[in-house]
Amino acid sequence: MIEKVKEAIAKDSLVLFVGAGMSIPLGVPNWNNLVKTILKKLEEKYKQNSPLNFRYYIETMDSGSTDLFDILTRLEEEHYKSETEKILYEIIGKVSLEEKNLERHKNLWSISDKIITTNYDKALENVIPKGVHTFTQENVFQQKQSLSGTPFLYKIHGDISDPTKCVLFRSDYEKLYIEENSNTQSLRNFLLNKTILFVGFSLEDPFINKQIDFLNEIFKGHSTTHYIVSNQTKDFREKNIQVINVENWNESFDKFLGELVEYKNELTNTIYQDNDSNLEEINIDEIEDVIILESIYQEKIKEVDNIKGKNKELFRELSALKNKILRLTEEKLNFDFQRKIPNHKEQELEYVFDTIFREEKLSNDIKIKIDYIKDQNSEYKWYHRSVVVSALSCSLINHKDVDYSKMDLLIDFTNDSENKVWQKAITHLFLVLNYLGNRWMRFNPLVVKIQRLKKNLVIQEALKEIVYIMQLRLFEISPLSSQIFENDYFKNNTFNYFLPFYEGNSSINKIYEKQDIEDVEDFVDFLYSSPLPSAVKYLFCNSSSASSEKRIINKEEKFFISLMYRVHKKHGTYINNINELLSFYKNSPKGVIAKGLEQNFNIINIEGKGLKKHLLNSIERYRAIARHFMLEENWGQAIVNYEQLLKIKSDDLNALSNIADCYMNTKKRIDKSLEIRKKIESLSPNESENFERIGAIYFYKKKYMKAIEYYDRAIAINSKRALYYNERGITKDALKKYVEAIKDYDKAIEINSQNSSYYFNRGLAKDELKKYSEAIEDYNKAIKLDPKNSSYYFNRSTSIGLLRNYQKALEDCNKAINLDPKKSHFYNYRGIIWTSLKCYEEALTDHNKAISMDPGCGAYYASKSNTLRRMNLLSDAMKTVDIAIEKDTDPGPSYGNKAAIYSALGERIKFYEFLELAFKKKAKAEWLDDDIKKEYKDDERFQELLMKYNQTL
């Protein structure tokens, strides 16, 4: 059963329910001793001056003949509630945690960042990770936030810092658990949709049990299985709870926690083994390996969180990349889209859907039916409500007009407690409102209801995600969207297409009939919880096809599902909701063409439609506009809007990070970018990516040691990110610490062996160490991964040239020029090669080409002068080298060329004068031509200069 818990960890669906057993070892009394201590303190204070016989209750507690809640009820009835709460504070509050061993509590947080606890004490808070929100049963907003997957500590019975709000008396429990409120809804939601692991909990709490029994009764034992750690042989299977036995609460329990922590760490390390491939340097048309393409995709999908530079191109490449991954995988599978899917049993719901879908105005009868389905206390389930949401949305689009009732109902569904329902409702509402333009604004009550959504922070978070997907057009990256309608099940029946994949559907039975699935339960659980489109799940469940009987789930198909799961994991819910609707109108023969539903989506343009004004709050409105301008690379306007956002919410990390990148792109405001990055550091001191960005700023400012300091800090937090080692290596290159740089490149390659730039950078460092053969090996590897990168061929050409294989060097330089004919230095270097091959006319042609492309580069004149000298055109060579010295900011090599010209003229005094000037300007003796070295190597004056400037040949 521990494997099932690990699966929940992997899916990020594990919630820990922590009870008193975790606090008792710290000196916090258990429930029985707590009540007894309260009674003793009341007896000490009031003695005989009380209508209650405290001693009697203490003795009956010892005998076990009295219910503790009955005792507490008597205290409440006799008006001792306030006094009891004060004593509760004294008992729990005096427990010092300073010198206590909280290692187990740390391990709990290492296993899951989602914890519910009935404990009043502060043990879990003392070791709580940064970014985890703590709240009690009073905080309705945070309860809803927790349901969306954000990290939390939910103190469901209150916190000792406010004992008046602690759940202690029976009346408190009844109010919390029996009355219908946000707490019961939240707890039931967790019990239904998450896997709960009870730790330090006896499951004897009658009120918790009531919620479990309530759900089991509704779902007839088919609700989610949960787990409890226990050293007893109790059986909780009737509650759908499995026992994980430990021998004791010492070594055995710690070993259990340790195993889960180790698994979580391994999982995290796997997730963060990033691939930092740059699509701008990769031609994906040349790559046919799905695994390589997928690793590149996983890195690029992270980049969209931190937009910077050439973004439209990035997202086009991202879409092309994913489409190729899916195409290659589909080809491998030879996937059959005509698989037969068994008919559903939801005829009544299909009638409701078809009626809504068809009717221009809702009849009273159908309104009544919708209201009944919408009632979450009715027998209808979440997927019924989801279908109604789809029907309302499609009907509004189909008729291209606003029926008040439909729109009103669609807005109401955004308040549903089930994530799958309200998330679909807000997604479809956004698309529908955008499509209908201003038509909905003539109904003032609708405008008012929509404006209220601006105050719902959970809804605003969802809208942030939706707008983000629309602006980046991530919905275009969707698996199987066009092929789905090749299947008659979806092509001929609109209801089938919009019916969610729900537990207990007919297709699931087909899975259990397959003998070739290693772990059926595991696979079924995966399908239920994965973010794949519902239609895809139905296709994969069924074994029979229209043409022949064949196995449905084999290794390749399972890989395909896993691939799509990973691709969709980041934005799956909202991408699927958006794509479901858009794909229907784009691909289904039953769909009505709805131009404008997604074409040319522009957050700026929707201002005129009122959507941005009425639906998005100020923060999300400024964020969306700023992102629009970032995508347009209009950094100034992006900055203006992020500044407005930050006036409202000064600690918004996303806005701070993006405005810092905007300032970096303006170049002139690099210090402002650094200032903002330092602010992010103060707000979130463990953000490795922020440290990497600060390092990049210091590198840009040529403060290399400071840059390395921040790269070190980034690596200390996330040692599995190859990019950090690569950038630190580049910085060490700038410091001429080539050996250390190579070690960093080695580490980057160890983490990610598919990034061509890492091999290229290592090759550059080896070139500096004159290890030309090793450098060529690295360039070879870079070219194999990215055969369309001109720089790789060019640098391999220079290394080969230094080994004097000029013909091979010429071949590589030609390849570099063919790939990128606009780089002037490619032509200049080819001219140098031609000179070495004594093809002087060809050399002059290339030098002149380079000079025409960049007439301000002194180095090109220097190269040309050397060729002219070789041709014995000494006068022209002297004129050209003088131009080089005039234009070159680093004239050392040009002084060397001038010295060589004077040598050819027989003016040895002038030769030595300019040779010394060259050495003073950091030119190297090894750069001298062979004829010069040969002529002067035994000359005493020459040797003196070599020694004086520490030069070697």
Note every long-range contact of 487-491, with CB atoms under 8 Å and residues 24 or more positions apart, other chains counting.
487/337, 487/338, 487/339, 487/341, 487/539, 488/338, 488/546, 489/340, 489/341, 489/538, 490/535, 490/588, 491/588, 491/589, 491/590
Beta strand spans in 465-551 (E): none
Are 775 and 767 a contacting pair, CB within 8 Å?
yes
CA-based nearest residue to 851, from 808, 814, 883, 812: 883
Q: How many CA atoms lie within 13 A of 445 on its CB side?
A: 9
CA-based nearest residue to 18, from 228, 200, 219: 200
The encoded tokens of residue 233 equal 């042989």
The encoded tokens of residue 508 equal 């699931």
CA-based nearest residue to 849, from 834, 836, 837, 838: 834
State the first-to-last Cα distance of the chain, in angstroms, to the nearest integer: 71
- Residue with token string 């005493």: 940
Q: How far apart are CA 54 and CA 78, in angstroms?
A: 12
Q: State the pLDDT at residue 306.
A: 46
- Residue with token string 């060019």: 794
Point out which residues pair with 134 in neighbouring strands.
Answer: 153
Assign 684 to helix, strand or coil: coil
Q: State the pLDDT at residue 405.
A: 94
Q: How far apart are CA 823 and CA 61, in angstroms?
A: 89
Kindly give the interhelix angle for 382-399 and 419-436, rounded to the nearest 10 degrees: 0
Are 509 and 541 a contacting pair, CB within 8 Å?
no
Q: Which residue numbers in the chain have pLDDT < 50? A: 218-222, 270-282, 284, 290-291, 303-312, 330-334, 544-560, 563, 567, 607
Beta strand spans in 298-446 (E): none
Q: How far apart are CA 544 and CA 342, in angstroms?
A: 10
Q: How far are the Cα atoms of 120, 272, 386, 695 from residue 906, in angstroms, in the given order?
A: 95, 65, 93, 52
Question: Could you report the per-residue pLDDT of 708-725, keeping only the tens digit for each?
Answer: 999 999 999 989 899 999
Q: State the pLDDT at residue 328.
A: 54
Q: State the pLDDT at residue 218.
A: 47
Amino acid, single-letter form, for residue 882: D
CA-based nearest residue to 172, from 75, 95, 91: 75
Q: State the pLDDT at residue 829.
A: 94
Q: State the pLDDT at residue 51.
A: 76
Give me the numbers of helices (H) and strands (E) for the chain, helices first please. Answer: 49, 7
Q: State the pLDDT at residue 436.
A: 86
Q: How far apart are CA 39 and CA 53, in angstroms?
A: 10
The encoded tokens of residue 147 equal 């349901």
Question: Could you report the per-residue pLDDT of 9-26, keeping only the tens digit for each?
Answer: 877 788 998 988 898 888
Q: How far apart are CA 465 and CA 915, in angstroms?
A: 64
- Please tell me the pTM assigned to this model: 0.61
Q: How far apart are CA 7 and CA 199, in angstroms?
A: 18
